[in-house]
Amino acid sequence: MSETLAKKFGYSEKVMDHFKNPRNIGVMEDADVTSKVGSVACGDLIKLYLKFDPDRDQIKDITFESYGCAANIATSSMMTEMVKGKTIEEARKVTFKDISETLGGLPRIKLHCAVLSRQGLETAFLKYEAKRGRVKMDESFVNKILRGVLDPVQGIDIISAKILQDTKIEDNKITLDLKAKPDSELAKSLAEDVHDAFEGLDVELDLRFKE
């Protein structure tokens, strides 16, 4: 993207720097936890990889993969820089507004990228805490994880989009009733994204699609 186009879209120099030279990018093979939020179908997707110091709950390392626009890449890059080395408690104080402001601001229509990167971080923390037995995998936990799964048509999470109709949890089995035509492209996309959202957790997913 040229400097002229960057100014036209309202991107700051910092946004363009993190877009062209993203920090902490790539797959981490020995990650303690991963989180994937967004959807390729709706244009923005982030996958985070985190390694922790378990004695201090400190983020030893964090990397990301991103599919999307310049703002999506830049916000993910900046977010990883801002939280690396922090404890979970400290990192949770970093807001999507902090990410945007540290980048020199984002166009209003691109603020959702900062929100998505922050959602990915919170999802990673929730999964890490679940794996360490600190949080219960109840309906509240499931809903928080599903906030990162987007309806590819509307571009909002499947709870707000009312695609999620019902949730049942029994031991480690999670049954989700989802509003989508069985065997449709929407159902296939949702199934992939929901399974990715719970990747690494000891759960059995039963997805039931209904029109």
SS3 of 83, please? helix
**Catalytic: which of 25, 28, 42, 201?**
42
Please tell me the distance from the alpha carbon of residue 184 to that of residue 170, in angstroms, as a whole number: 28
Tokens for 125? 């923390």
**Catalytic: which of 48, 83, 113, 158?**
113
Backbone angles phi, psi at 170, to 5 degrees: -140, 110
SS3 of 15, please? helix
Backbone angles phi, psi at 156, to 5 degrees: -120, 165
- Is residue 42 part of the annotated active site? The answer reads yes
Please tell me the distance from the alpha carbon of residue 65 to that of residue 159, in angstroms, as a whole number: 25
What residues act catalytically?
Answer: 42, 113
